[in-house]
Amino acid sequence: MRQILIKGRLLLLALVFMFIASACAKEVAKPTKEERISPPQSEASTNEKIKIGFSMDTLQEERWLRDRDLFKESVEALGAEVVIMAANGDDALQISQAETLISQGVDLLILVPHNAESTATIVHKAHLAGIKVIAYDRLVKNADIDLYVSFDNEKVGEMQAKAMTKLVPKGNYVFIGGAITDNNAHLLKKGVFNVLQPLIEKGDIKIVYDQWTKDWLPANALANMQSALKANGNQIDAVIAANDATAGGVIQALMEQGLAGKVPVAGQDAELAAAQRIVEGTQSMTVYKPIKALTDEAARLAVALAKGETVGEYQKVNNGKIEVPSFLLSPIAVDQLNIDDTIIADGFHSRQDVYKLSGE
């Protein structure tokens, strides 16, 4: 009987000891207030970079090479990374490349559409994957695009037309448009004719040739201008080209007829070749769009959206489906009188390159 009592007491003591030990362990493991509010994250989650996908139409023009390089610099300066793919004018390839970027798990997709209509499918696929899309410089039509960042392209056209009507208030005009698939080409043309139409109705200006340029290619602009000259017996007084690359094709056709420098030509983009032609007198003006300002703004907005942040005030542009939140920067008209104070002063091109100086 005594042995049974002793065993019972020992068992009771063991149970008490186990209870005390368990309580102490729980107190030690109990999280602090700070730990409950801000649980520690893994190193991977705290250090993971935002990844931006950049789907570009082409890299076959000087302008787009600048956009690519400056955008990459801007994104990386914000601590994010960018994956860049260019389709060189191939709609199917651009869609395929965008699908690749989406499958790689980019946090946001920036799109420079070759075809304003067909790239709507890219926006849809990105949204299905929970990825927001920014249209860069060119608007995507009929899609629920999240943001549009560009210059005021209608204003670009107005600047071109105002410069040309100041030089040639009356006469036969040729309009060499951009690619019909690019919404910017339509906005540009709208701006041009905002200025020209009253003069057309007045009878001061006659549009003797008006044609789109397939894929913005200078060779196609050259062929268009050759046709315009032939159809009008070289009786052309002014030409408005949709960009500097197409202006180059126009001026080549004028050279063939001994008319370069005699017929005023407008372009836009402030490409180096165009700046050189302005100095030489074969191109009358261009429209400078400070690309560094565009890439910096696009990068800022892309990283902010990817983080789920708000991006501030914006304008609205209708794309045929919705009023797209838009950030539109202001362009600058450039001719011989202000070329030094604009594109050269900004470092967009060096004075040595523009004036073809061997040394200073």
Give a yes or no: residue 300 inside a domain.
yes
Give a yes or no: residue 234 inside a domain.
yes
Section 264-281 average pLDDT: 97
- The confidence score (pLDDT) of residue 7 equals 52
**Which structure tokens are listed for 54?**
């950049």
What's the pLDDT band for 9 if we cut at 50, 70, 90? Answer: low
Section 237-244 average pLDDT: 98
How confident is the prediction for the chain on average, in pLDDT? 89
Note the pTM of the prediction, 2 decimals: 0.79
- Proportion of the chain above pLDDT 70, given as a percent: 86
Range of the domain at 182: 153-289+334-354
Question: pLDDT digit string (tens) for 102-156?
Answer: 999 999 999 999 999 999 999 999 999 999 999 999 999 999 999 999 999 999 9
Contact call for residues 116 and 141 (beta carbons, < 8 A): yes
- The confidence score (pLDDT) of residue 325 equals 95
Is the same domain home to 211 and 96? no
Is the same domain home to 208 and 343? yes
Domain CATH number, residue 187: 3.40.50.2300
Cα gap 259→267, rounded to integer Å? 17
Question: pLDDT digit string (tens) for 94-103?
Answer: 999 999 999 9
Give a yes or no: residue 53 inside a domain.
yes
Give a yes or no: residue 29 inside a domain.
no
Is the same domain home to 257 and 341? yes
